[in-house]
């Protein structure tokens, strides 16, 4: 049973992610029929702990309080640097006794340095996913999810995804009713659909060389059309095979994948900025139908166009 929770404050801890764990586990919600946790904040070296925002927090408890914790939680913090040996000890002891371990955002790097994520799936903020995978190749990093549970370890993605990860843990241990009480108090959905790919700002298209600048501009102007490689090759005055080969070499992807990416970006923009219906957006972006557009949204962004619009539509359009 999830009862005792210890949050470990590490140097240069991020206040928001720290606050997420405090909010979920540190507030007595018994008056609303919610759970009450034995919640403690501890540090390897009690005293002033610097935050990422330039001020210190005074943490008075040492890690002795974590000896019998049901959950060890690590919020985001500065990635570089060694992990205090006492933190590593506490993490390994918690894992050995089957306690839960929860990290939020860059907190996954502390767990990675402990070796406890080796051979496991994990999540972190999408900005750090490549680095985590590169520095710790034994970990299967999933950059497109809000959180990952692998055994007794839950790793949350960027920032607010820590709420999703923490509520998932509450739901798993104490049931949906307990998670719903906490979510209602926090004014957040008790269970959010989709992965963090939907929150990654679309990058600018790769800058094409002079050979393709005119063609890609024409492609963007004609996204609503069914554009074949043969037609694009004729536009570029090349054979189809040469066009496909040189396009990949120049832009790092196939013409079809590049088109699909631009169509998704255009559809996201229309969902955010207009009141056009889904069929109209699908037609304007070249997906042909709302069903096809939905397939691509779910496959790439792990959410539906309707859910994307509800989340990101400009407030004035939905008020």
Residues 165 and 247 in one domain: no
Contacts (Cβ under 8 Å, ≥6 apart) of 278: 290, 293, 294, 305, 306
- Among 140, 170, 194, residue at a domain's last position: 194
Say if 201 falls within a structural domain: no
Q: What is the CATH number of the domain that holds 239?
A: 1.10.10.60
Residues 286 and 249 in one domain: yes
Cβ atoms of 161 and 168 within 8 Å: the answer is no
Residues 31 and 80 in one domain: yes
pLDDT tens for 121-139 read: 999 999 999 999 999 999 9
Q: Count how many residues are written for the chain.
A: 319
pLDDT tens for 166-177 read: 999 999 999 988
Say if 205 falls within a structural domain: no
Say if 299 falls within a structural domain: yes
Say if 244 falls within a structural domain: yes
pLDDT tens for 217-232 read: 899 999 999 999 999 9
Q: What is the CATH number of the domain that holds 110?
A: 3.40.50.880
Domains identified in the chain, total number: 2
Residues 215 and 190 in one domain: no
- Per the structure, the complete domain to which residue 84 belongs is given by 4-194
Say if 174 falls within a structural domain: yes
Cβ atoms of 41 and 49 within 8 Å: the answer is no
Residues 42 and 189 in one domain: yes
Contacts (Cβ under 8 Å, ≥6 apart) of 187: none
pLDDT band of 253, cuts 50, 70, 90: confident
């Amino acid at each position: 049973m999830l009862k005792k929770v210890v949050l470990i404050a590490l140097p240069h801890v991020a206040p928001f992610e720290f606050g997420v764990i405090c909010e979920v586990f540190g507030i007595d919600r018994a008056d609303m029929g919610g759970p009450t946790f034995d919640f403690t904040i501890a540090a390897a070296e009690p005293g002033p702990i610097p935050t990422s925002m330039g001020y210190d927090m005074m943490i008075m408890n040492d890690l002795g309080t974590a000896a019998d914790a049901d959950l060890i939680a690590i919020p985001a913090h500065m990635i570089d640097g060694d992990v205090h040996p006492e933190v590593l000890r506490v993490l390994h002891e918690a894992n050995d006794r089957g306690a839960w371990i929860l990290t939020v955002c860059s907190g996954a790097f502390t767990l990675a340095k402990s070796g406890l994520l080796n051979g496991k799936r994990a999540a972190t903020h999408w900005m750090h996913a490549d680095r985590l995978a590169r520095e710790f190749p034994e970990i299967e990093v999933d950059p497109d999810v809000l959180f990952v549970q692998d055994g007794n370890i839950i790793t949350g993605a960027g920032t607010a995804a820590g709420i999703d990860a923490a509520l998932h843990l509450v739901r798993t241990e104490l049931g949906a009713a307990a998670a719903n009480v906490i979510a209602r108090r926090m004014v957040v959905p008790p269970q959010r659909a989709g992965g963090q790919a939907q929150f990654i700002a679309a990058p600018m298209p790769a800058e094409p060389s002079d050979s393709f600048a005119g063609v890609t501009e024409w492609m963007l102007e004609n996204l609503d059309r069914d554009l074949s490689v043969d037609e694009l090759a004729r536009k570029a005055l090349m054979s189809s095979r040469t066009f496909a080969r040189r396009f990949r070499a120049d832009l790092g992807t196939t013409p079809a994948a590049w088109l699909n990416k631009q169509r998704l970006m255009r559809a996201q923009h229309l969902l955010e900025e207009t009141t056009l219906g889904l069929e109209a957006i699908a037609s304007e972006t070249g997906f042909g139908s709302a069903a096809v557009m939905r397939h691509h949204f779910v496959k790439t962004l792990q959410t539906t166009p309707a859910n994307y619009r509800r989340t990101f539509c400009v407030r004035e359009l939905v008020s």
